[in-house]
Every structure is written in C-alpha cells, then in structure tokens.
C-alpha cells in the first residue's frame, strides 16, 4: 500500500535521495525546497506523485502555512521527515553571532516548528510518524562542530519529550543518527575565518583532516536512506536508528563511558537527597 510523505530539505543530500527512492516505488511525496526548480527532473518524471512546496525552515510562520498547504493538497500524510539542516564548522570562538543564530534557526528551531506545525494535522487524522534526521552528532561530539552538536543534541531532547506527549494520539517518532556519509554535507559546511591560536589543538586537527580528505567517511547515502525508509515502514521502530559502522562504534563508546562515569558517582548522587521523612 502506497504512502504519502512530507520531506523538508529535499533538494539535495539524504532528502533528495529519499524523495527519489520513494517516488520510484510509487509513493507520493510532498517535498519542501528553497528553490522549486531543484526538483524539476523528478517532477517531470513522476508527475502528480510529487508535490513541491517552497520553504526556508528559518521562516517559522511559513513553516506552519506550508504544513497547512501540504495537508490541504495531499489529504492524509503518513510520514513527516524533518531533514533540512546544514553544518557550521569552526571552533566556538571563531564563529560569528550571525552564523550561530542561523545554525540554531535552521537545525533546531526550524525542526521544532516543523514538528509543532505537523502535530495538529496528525492528531486530526488519527496518528502518523515523524522522522527527525539527526546525526551521530546528537549523541557524541567532535571538535569544530560545537554549534552543530548543540542543535542535534537539542532536537533529540525535544523529541524525547514530545514523543511521550503525543503517543496517546497514535503519533510516534524515529530519530535517525547517520555517521559520516557520502553526501554534499562536507562540501557545504559553513566555515568562519580560522584563528591561528587553534592550529595546534584538536580543533586544528579536525580541520586538517576534513581539508585533506582523511576524515573517515564510510556511510553510503543510498543504503542509509533505504534503512531509514525500512524503519519508517516498520510497525514499531526503535526511537533511535543508528546508521553506519562509525556511528555505531562512536555512540557505543560514548554511552559506555557515560554509564561508567555515572555509576562511579552513585554515592555522591544519593548523598544529595533529603533525609527520609
């Protein structure tokens, strides 16, 4: 049985790959892009199965009206995919105020408004699924990606809470956490002017790895999207979907270290309780 999907940030990367795969199997897609012509080839090939809406997710009022338009045109939408995002790459001290604001508005606040705008429609139709494209960077952190991590850790916390709020309405979530994947994410990183003082620090090491091409990328975009679609099609997916061996290993290591650190503090933690009454 075919489904109808809404995908933000569908003009490139994982969003475009997902749009293409879903259309190829006969599903309908409402794709949001900043420039409508970026999907002209898919529109010509798939006709009425592709509906394209223009949306910059940093325009929060438009996020709500675009969602209203999407449901008005498509009727029922089974899966919302909040995908629009980009990476800001630089040591925290190097970033400009404007770059910080735009990163948060795109990756965090924009995703929040997309999800909030979808919820009334999903409630009225009796349920649905929301896929938030996060990253291994929602669970671990690299130097030089501090603001990117802030947005991904932030959206994951938001979803952890909202998922509990809307479960009674038949609405559930998947947080997709790909590791480094072969898309246009790296070439499209926004980079401030670098400061010489960070050259011989971990931030400088990561910058050189990215610039030289030695920053390891194992994820395959086609297979990553196939796994995301399979999870969204499944009856009861896990809340978090880890994608790629790098993501699996890095998240496993981070969680193990975090748990060990927590358990070592058990006595201190319990000492902060009030005396039993």
Options 82, 148, 198, 250, the catalytic residue: 148
Q: Which tens digit of pLDDT belongs to each residue from 202-248?
A: 999 999 998 888 888 888 999 999 999 999 999 999 999 999 999 99
Predicted confidence at residue 183, as pLDDT, reads: 76
Q: Can you say whether the dihedral through the CA atoms of 51, 56, 60, 61 is positive or negative?
A: negative
Predicted confidence at residue 217, as pLDDT, reads: 81
Q: What average pLDDT score do residues 77-106 get? A: 96
C-alpha to C-alpha distance for 182 and 190, rounded to whole angstroms: 17
Predicted confidence at residue 123, as pLDDT, reads: 97
Q: Is 148 part of the annotated catalytic residue set?
A: yes
C-alpha to C-alpha distance for 124 and 147, rounded to whole angstroms: 35
Q: What average pLDDT score do residues 245-257 get? A: 97
Predicted confidence (pLDDT) at residue 131 exceeds the cutoff of 90: yes
Q: Which tens digit of pLDDT belongs to each residue from 97-126?
A: 999 999 999 999 999 999 999 999 999 999
Q: Is 3 part of the annotated catalytic residue set?
A: no
Predicted confidence at residue 198, as pLDDT, reads: 95
Tokens of 136: 């291994």
Q: Is 234 part of the annotated catalytic residue set?
A: no
The ranges assigned to domains in the chain are: 4-245
Predicted confidence at residue 115, as pLDDT, reads: 97
Walk across the sheet containing 50-54 and list its strands: 50-54, 28-33, 4-7, 79-82, 128-133, 171-178, 240-243
Q: Is 11 part of the annotated catalytic residue set?
A: yes
Maximum Cα interatomic distance, the chain, rounded to a whole number of Å: 71
Architecture of the domain defined by 4-245: 3-Layer(aba) Sandwich (3.40)
Predicted confidence at residue 143, as pLDDT, reads: 94
Q: Which tens digit of pLDDT belongs to each residue from 140-198?
A: 999 999 999 999 999 999 999 999 999 999 999 999 999 888 777 777 889 999 999 99
Options 142, 152, 198, 250, the catalytic residue: 152
Q: Which tens digit of pLDDT belongs to each residue from 1-12?
A: 799 999 999 999
Whole-structure pTM value: 0.94
Q: What average pLDDT score do residues 28-38 get? A: 93
Q: Answer yes or no: are the C-beta atoms of 82 and 132 closer than 8 Å.
A: yes
Options 82, 134, 135, 146, the catalytic residue: 134
Predicted confidence at residue 178, as pLDDT, reads: 94
User: What's 92's DSSP letter?
Assistant: G
Q: Residue 91, exposed/middle/buried by CB under 10 A (0-12, 13-18, 19+)?
A: buried
Options 11, 82, 146, 250, the catalytic residue: 11
Q: Which residues contact 155 (CB under 8 A, 6 or more apart)?
A: 107, 108, 111, 112, 132, 134, 138
């Amino acid at each position: 049985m075919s489904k109808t999907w809404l995908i933000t940030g569908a003009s490139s990367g994982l969003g475009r790959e997902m749009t293409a795969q879903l259309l190829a199997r006969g599903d309908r897609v409402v794709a949001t892009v900043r420039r409508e012509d970026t999907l002209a080839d898919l529109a010509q090939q798939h006709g009425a199965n592709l509906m394209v809406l223009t949306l910059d997710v940093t325009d929060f009022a438009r996020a709500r009206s675009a969602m209203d338009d999407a449901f008005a045109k498509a009727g029922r939408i089974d899966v919302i995919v909040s995908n629009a995002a980009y990476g800001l790459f630089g040591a925290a001290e190097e970033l400009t105020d404007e770059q910080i604001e735009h990163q948060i508005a795109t990756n965090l606040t924009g995703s929040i408004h997309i999800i909030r705008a979808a919820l009334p429609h999903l409630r009225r139709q009796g349920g649905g699924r929301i896929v938030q494209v996060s990253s291994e960077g929602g669970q671990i952190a690299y130097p030089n990606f501090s603001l990117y991590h802030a947005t991904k850790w932030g959206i994951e916390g938001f979803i952890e809470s909202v998922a509990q709020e809307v479960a009674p309405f038949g609405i559930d979530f998947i947080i997709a956490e790909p590791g480094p994947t072969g898309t246009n994410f790296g070439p499209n990183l926004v980079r401030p002017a670098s400061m010489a003082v960070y050259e011989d620090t971990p931030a400088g090491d990561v910058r050189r790895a990215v610039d030289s091409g030695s920053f390891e990328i194992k994820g395959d975009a086609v297979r990553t999207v196939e796994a995301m679609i399979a999870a969204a099609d499944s009856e009861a997916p896990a809340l978090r979907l880890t994608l790629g061996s790098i993501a699996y290993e890095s998240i496993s290591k981070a969680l193990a270290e975090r748990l060990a650190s927590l358990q070592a503090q058990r006595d201190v933690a319990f000492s902060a309780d009030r005396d039993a009454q």
